[in-house]
Amino acid sequence: MLSAEAGCEVWVKHENATPIGAFKVRGGLVRLDRLRRSTPGLRGVISATRGNHGQSIGYAGQAMGIPATIVVPEGNSAEKNRLMEGFGTNLVVYGADFEAARDEAFRLAARDGLTFVHSFHPDLVLGVASWALELFRAAPLLSSLYVPVGLGSGICGAIGVRDLLGLKTEIVGVQSRGADPYARSLAAGHAVVLNRADTLADGIAVRIPDPAALEIIRGGAARIVTVTDTEIAAAIGSFWKATHNLAEGAGAAALAALMKEKGMQAGRRVGVVLSGGNIDLELFRRWVLG
């Protein structure tokens, strides 16, 4: 059904089926494992998140016996907050957006002697890259692969795997039109910081690009496509009707971008990653069902 709708052969990587319902768990496990091996006397870790990164750190911390504190912005997904607390994290609510929450996490790290876990780090990229490796191994040669871009670990991992395997697949980044600092940065030739991240897709609601991620994306992505919340909502509906999988906003962004570019992908073999399925039920009712 998805192939018929898109006019091409569509392969979906279902990262919504991981223990936390998102691809981020792969990075959290690798990062915390390396931290506990390299940091004698590790007292605990702290990070900031809109949800899936925090769940990955909580899940890994619980598995490894490492106390984890997560700072989330005000108005964050109530269901994601409960999921993080379910993994034993100490949840702190602070600030109007992700960047404000991150600043508070830095302050608490210094005050309490905790190790800050960045949302973009080489260990995280190494871990999350395994989703792309699995897809490239399982799927016949893909012409294109669409990947949602928050801070950029998912797309940077995909670029790295593509290059290591020597494949010709073009990697296409996807951002919300209301939160597109990487798209604007590539167009401008320098980092562009936004005043706000205006999208219901909280997993890609980022307004400040990471410098290291920007350089990898600049060198390895074919382009970045921006999509509206309306287009993302339609893609969530398409996933549900065709596969009976519920995608969160960021998780459906790749399919939304493919549908937007389906004319140029006609007859080709294309991959999309359903990067997460952690959408609030109320948001799903209001946003997708109307």
The model's pLDDT over 197-213, given as tens digits with 9 standing for 90+, comes to 999 998 999 999 999 99
pLDDT, average across residues 222-229 = 98
The model's pLDDT over 136-177, given as tens digits with 9 standing for 90+, comes to 999 999 999 999 999 999 999 999 999 999 999 999 999 999
Query: What is the per-residue pLDDT for 99?
Result: 82
Buried b or exposed e, range 178-211, using 16+ CB within 10 angstroms: bbbbbbbbbeeeeebebeebebbbbbbbbbbbbe
Beta-bridge partners for 276? 22
- Residue 4: what are its φ and ψ, rounded to 5°? -65, -40
Q: How confident is the model at residue 248 (pLDDT cuts 50, 70, 90)?
A: very high
Residue 262 has pLDDT above 90, yes or no: yes
pLDDT, average across residues 49-70 = 94
Query: What is the per-residue pLDDT for 173?
Result: 98
Q: Among residues of the chain, what percentage have pLDDT more than 90?
A: 88
How far lies 155's CA from each of 46, 237, 284, in Å? 24, 24, 25
pLDDT, average across residues 76-97 = 92
Residue 101 has pLDDT above 90, yes or no: yes
Average pLDDT, rounded, for the chain: 95
Q: How confident is the model at residue 234 (pLDDT cuts 50, 70, 90)?
A: very high
Residue 98 has pLDDT above 90, yes or no: no
Kindly list the structural domains of the chain, giving each domain's residue range(s) and its CATH number in brackets, ordered by start.
2-22+122-288 (3.40.50.1100), 25-116 (3.40.50.1100)
Query: What is the per-residue pLDDT for 282?
Result: 87
User: Structure pTM?
Assistant: 0.94
> Taking a C-beta distance cutoff of 8 angstroms, is the pair 248, 278 a contact?
yes
Measured distance CA(257)–CA(235) in Å, rounded: 9
Query: What is the per-residue pLDDT for 288?
Result: 84
Six-digit token pair at 84?
């993080």
Residue 103 has pLDDT above 80, yes or no: yes
pLDDT, average across residues 260-280 = 96
Residue 97 has pLDDT above 90, yes or no: no
pLDDT, average across residues 277-289 = 88
Residue 272 has pLDDT above 80, yes or no: yes
pLDDT, average across residues 243-270 = 97
Query: What is the per-residue pLDDT for 187?
Result: 97
Residue 290 has pLDDT above 80, yes or no: no
What's the chain look like in SS3? CHHHHHCCEEEEEEHHHCCCCECCHHHHHHHHHHHHHHCCCCCCEEEECCCHHHHHHHHHHHHHCCCEEEEECCCCCHHHHHHHHHCCCEEEECCCCHHHHHHHHHHHHHHHCCEECCCCCHHHHHHHHHHHHHHHHHCCCCCEEEEECCCCHHHHHHHHHHHHHCCCCEEEEEEECCECHHHHHHHHCCCCCCCCCCCCCHHHCCCCCCHHHHHHHHHHEEEEEEECHHHHHHHHHHHHHHHCCCCCHHHHHHHHHHHHCCCCCCCCEEEEEECECCCCHHHHHHHHCC
Q: Does residue 75 or residue 35 have the better pLDDT?
A: 35
